[in-house]
Structures are given as structure tokens and as C-alpha cells.
Amino acid sequence: MANDKKISDRYKKIFWAAFSPLLAMLTVWALLKQNQSVSVRDIAHTAAGADKFWFLSAILSSILYIVFEGFALCSILKGAGFRPKLKNGFLYSTADIYFSAITPSATGGQPASAYFMLRDRISGGVTTAVLMLNVMMYTASIVALGIISVILRPASFAKFSLPSKMLIIGGATVQLILTVFFVFVLNNGDFIFNFLKRTISFLGRKKIIRKTKKPIAKLEKAQADYSACSQLFAGNYKLLLKAFLWNLLQRLSQIIVSPLLFIAMGGNAALSTDVFAKQCLITIGYNFVPLPGAMGIADYLMLNGFSVIMNRDMAFHLEMLSRGMTFYVCVSLSGLITLLGYIIKRRRRKK
């Protein structure tokens, strides 16, 4: 039974790894088909003619998205009593970003990070608590930036189309619910672990699982580590603030790419705040969509939001360049680093 589940999970990973690039190509093709007055050559020409300082700033900012998550995870692990190397923190980050991007609803990100943490001999309970706190702060930072965008530009939401507004409202609702849920789980881990132990015991009684003592013992060990770690987090407001700020910087480094590119393309710098506010709401709108990287939905929201600020062709160029940097290039780089990290760690273990 366990082997069947492993095989099933493996096939699912293979499917999404193969489907995601296909979906990416279809998305780009559909966008180019939608706006036939713009070609890939036009976009490349726009990039080549952009202001070098602002364009390079946008590239650097998109890379910082990976870096800041690494800092966030390292800061939380330090609060839990570990001394992780920064290179390991960046590997946890790239694994999260890559597998979140190629799986629906970002379901593969945390398990991928957990895999590398466990291989670095961080206990399962601590790993779970660390990732739970990080994803909680990640979600809270999205909500915070949404609030900031409304304060900066109160009318920015009103100028979206009705379908976009529904996506943004849906995204905001889901993010708020998730934040509350993560706070509950972080403070009530026993509820989850006790449920898992009861489930294993039930499966054992039904003869679905033959041996139950070992997995229950592992869960009890993880539960003890998780409880100790979550209690440590609950009383450490300095740690919580650091984790939130690193996650806020991570989200900010991604969102600010669009305003930087807008200025690089010759856009009015005074309107860059409008682009920023729109991008904050756009991020809320696509962040809960159950598609790898929200491909298609994110592009729709960006075109819809940016077209109000600039002409359609410029909005299209900005969307393609921004999405290319913050998603396609970032995910490809993360995948490459994760693969190299996996190969290096595997070779070291064999030695």
C-alpha cells in the first residue's frame, strides 16, 4: 500500500514537471495570439532599448526574491537553536520556489524544502514548525502589501474588470483564512499530530497497515520537537518580526520588478506607484489559483491592471518582461540550483 502511494506520488510529480513547461508555452502562445501587433522580436527590442540601470535593478530584484526566502528560513532556524549555513538556506528556498511553481496550489514547495532540511539532520518536528511559521509570514506579508497598496492608491482596485475584482476578493479572503489557519496550527500542533496517530492506529486495526508502533513513535518524537519549537516561537517576538520582515522583503522584491521595468521602458516615474499598487492586488488575485504558477490567470490580471495606466502594447511588453523575470527565469534558476544542490549532497553522503 505504501509502495503504491509512493509510485502514485512519483507519477504525479513527473506529470506536473512535464505539464508545467507545456502550460507555460501555451500561455505565451495565447498571449502573443491575443495581441498580434506585438511579437517576441518586439519584446526583445524593448528589453534591448530599456534604460540599463532600471532594467538591471529589476533583474537584481527578481533574484533577491530567492535570496530573501533563504534569509527568512535561516533566521527562523536560528531562533529554533540551529546554526544553518546560508548556502543551505538558499537551497531550501530554491527547492520551495521551484516545486511551488510546477505543482498546483504550490503543494510541492514545503515538502521539497523539508526534504533538504531533514537531510541536514534537522528533526521532522522542527522542520514542520519552521516551514509552518515561514508560510504563515509569507501569507501575512501578501495581506500587508495589499493593505499598503490600497492606502497608496485607494482607487486602484476599482479600475479592474469585474472578473479581476472577483479574483482579487477571492484571493484576499483565502489569504486571510490561511493566515488564521496557520496561526491556529502553529499554536495547536497537538491536534494535528493526535489526529495522525489516531489515523495510523485505525488503519492498523483495519489491517491496512501492518506495523503501527514505529510510525507512531516517530510521530510522537516529531510532536515533542514541534511543540517545543512552536512554544519557543510564540514567546520570541523579535524572531517573529524578523521572519515577517524577511518575507515582506521577499514579496516586495518580486512586486517591485514591474514598477522598475515600467520606468526602464520609459514610463512616467510618477505612475510607478500606480503600477506597484496594481501589482500588489494582482499578486493577491492569482496567489490562490490552483494552477502551477497561476499561469494564464496571472497574465490576465497583469494585462487587465496595467492597461488602465498605459497603452495596450506597453502593458503587454511590461507583462511579458515582468512575468519572464519574476516567474520563468526565477523558477528556472531555482530548479537548476536545486538540482545541483541535490547532486552535491548525494555525492557527499556516498563518500
Does a structural domain hold residue 134?
yes
Question: What are the CA-CA distances from residue 191 to residues 131, 180, 184 (Å)?
Answer: 18, 16, 10
Does a structural domain hold residue 351?
no
What does the pLDDT look like over 20-68, one tens digit per residue? 455 445 544 444 445 554 556 777 888 888 999 999 999 999 999 999 9
pLDDT above 70 covers a percentage of the chain that reads 85
**E-assigned strands of 172-317?**
none
Does a structural domain hold residue 234?
yes
**Looking at residue 216, what is its pLDDT?**
81
Does a structural domain hold residue 112?
no
DSSP conformational letter for 324: I
Does a structural domain hold residue 302?
yes
Please, which pLDDT band fits residue 7 given cuts at 50, 70 and 90?
very low
Q: Give the residue-averaged pLDDT of 174-201.
A: 80
Q: What is d(CA 269, CA 276) in angstroms, rounded to the nearest whole number?
A: 11
Q: Is the pLDDT of residue 279 over 90?
A: yes
Please, which pLDDT band fits residue 104 given cuts at 50, 70 and 90?
low
Sign of torsion, CA 227 175 196 109? negative
Host domain of residue 208: 50-91+125-346
In the chain, % helix, strand, coil (3-state, to 5) comes to 85, 0, 15
Domain count, the chain: 1
- Across 4-8, 184-188, 315-319, the highest mean pLDDT is recorded for 315-319
Q: Is the pLDDT of residue 1 over 50?
A: no
Q: Is the pLDDT of residue 350 over 70?
A: no
The residue ranking higher by pLDDT, 253 or 331, is 253
The residue type at 132: M
Does a structural domain hold residue 29?
no
Does a structural domain hold residue 45?
no
Q: Is the pLDDT of residue 110 over 90?
A: no
Q: Kindly report which listed range (21-25, 85-89, 130-134, 179-183) carries the lowest average pLDDT score.
A: 21-25
Does a structural domain hold residue 165?
yes
Q: What is the pTM of this model?
A: 0.80
